Structure formats: structure tokens, C-alpha cells
Amino acid sequence: MKKYFAEFFGTFWLVFGGCGSAVLAAGIPELGIGYAGVSLAFGLTVLTMAYAVGHISGGHFNPAVSVGLMVGGRFDKKDLFPYIAAQVVGAIAAGAVLFAIASGIPTFDASAGFASNGYGEHSPHGYGLVSALLIEIVLTAFFLFIIMGATDKRAPAGFAPIAIGLCLTLIHLISIPVTNTSVNPARSTGVALFQGGWAIGQLWLFWIAPIVGGVIGALCYRFVADEK
């Protein structure tokens, strides 16, 4: 059970740190951390937890990563659903704690967004469904490609969390304006449930696109890295 708890805590930290930076620290006039700060926060959550518990669970913290690694031959399918369950529960727990903290000021309104992912009128800059679908697939594919490359037995040992954390930072720098950046169905679910409206209605895209992207990225890496 320890690896499932590791996934729970890792995903909790990712959602609390990443979405928490967006909800609590990004929008303060003149002092807020902005898109760049939120991007770095997401990258740091993965980097720190990958070092903390990666040796216990593999440090997935993301259903799309678990599915991709399974397709890539790096993860046993018998653990897939327990991992996804632990990740989603961890994300929801983080959303609940963040909601409780953010509710400490009278102006807080979760229905305004609560760091949820969206497209169309709920995209930060109005990008439509096709744009959201494409960017989530492409970025998750490259995320899996880099994860598999950085953790390959032929790669330099000990540096994988740095590469993966920086990759997630770059992903957010690219795509926050489009979808608020998911590439992680658990992250999307953990805050959508507390937004309570449109975010739940659009949640399907942020499950389907990252998982499709994860599978594509894993297959591409297997093709490139095949030593035969």
C-alpha cells in the first residue's frame, strides 16, 4: 500500500502547490507571481516529490503518466487503477484544503474559476475546443516522451526529476493562456469539483486529451529508443 500512499501525497502536493499558487498568489496586483510563477510552482511540485517518493512509487502523480508508462512497458497494468484512484483522491483532498484556505477571505468565489481548466469562454484567453484538445494532446505526448527518456536506464542517473520538473514548467509557460494547463486528469478533477459548474461540464476533455497524448508519447519513445 505504501506506493499508493506515495501517489496520494505526491498528487496532493502537485495540486495544492500548483493550483494553490494560481488561486492564492497569482492575482495580487503588482505583487502576484503571474503565469511564470504558476508555471514554476507546478514544475517544483513534481521535482520535489519525484525526489521524495519517486523511489517508492515511481512518481507518476498523474493518470495520463500511469497510462502512458503502462503502454510504454514501464508500468504493471495490475497497478493502474489503484494508482489512478490514489491520484484522484489526492487531488480532491488538495482541492478541499485549498478551498478551505481560500474561503478565508470574503471576496473568494470558487465559481469564478478556482484554477480550473477550460476552453471556449472558460479558456483564459478564449481559445476554442479544438485548440484545447490539440495542445493538451501534444504537450502530454511530449511530457511522456521526456519522462521515459529521462528515466531510461541509459540516461544519466539521478537527474530525471530535474528534467521532468523543468518540462512541466515549460508546458505551463506554453499553455496556461489556452486551457490553464491540465496535462493531468487528476489535477483537473481536484479543482473542477469545487468550481462546481462549467468546469465539471468540460472535464471530459481534460481526461481524454491527456490520456491520448500520454499513449502517443509513450509509443513514440518506444519507437525512437528501440535498440533493435
Predicted confidence at residue 89, as pLDDT, reads 98
For the cut 70, the answer to whether the pLDDT of residue 227 exceeds it is no
Helix/strand/coil (H/E/C) assignment for every residue in the chain:
CHHHHHHHHHHHHHHHHHHHHHHHHCCCCCCCCHHHHHHHHHHHHHHHHHHHHHHHHCCCCCHHHHHHHHHCCCCCHHHHHHHHHHHHHHHHHHHHHHHHHHCCCCCCCHHHCCCCCCCHHHCCCCCCHHHHHHHHHHHHHHHHHHHHHHCCCCCCCCCHHHHHHHHHHHHHHHHHHHHCCCCCHHHHHHHHHHHCCHHHHCCCHHHHHHHHHHHHHHHHHHHHHCCC
Domains of the chain, start order: 1-225 (1.20.1080.10)
What is the share, in percent, of the chain residues with pLDDT greater than 90? 95
pTM over 0.85: yes
Write down the pLDDT at residue 228: 58
The pLDDT of residue 150: 96
| Predicted pLDDT at 226 | 81
Q: Which whole number is the average pLDDT over 195-203?
A: 95
The predicted-structure confidence for 56-100, as pLDDT tens digits, reads as follows 999 999 999 999 999 999 999 999 999 999 999 999 999 999 999
Residue 190 is predicted with a pLDDT of 97
What does pLDDT average to over the chain?
Answer: 96
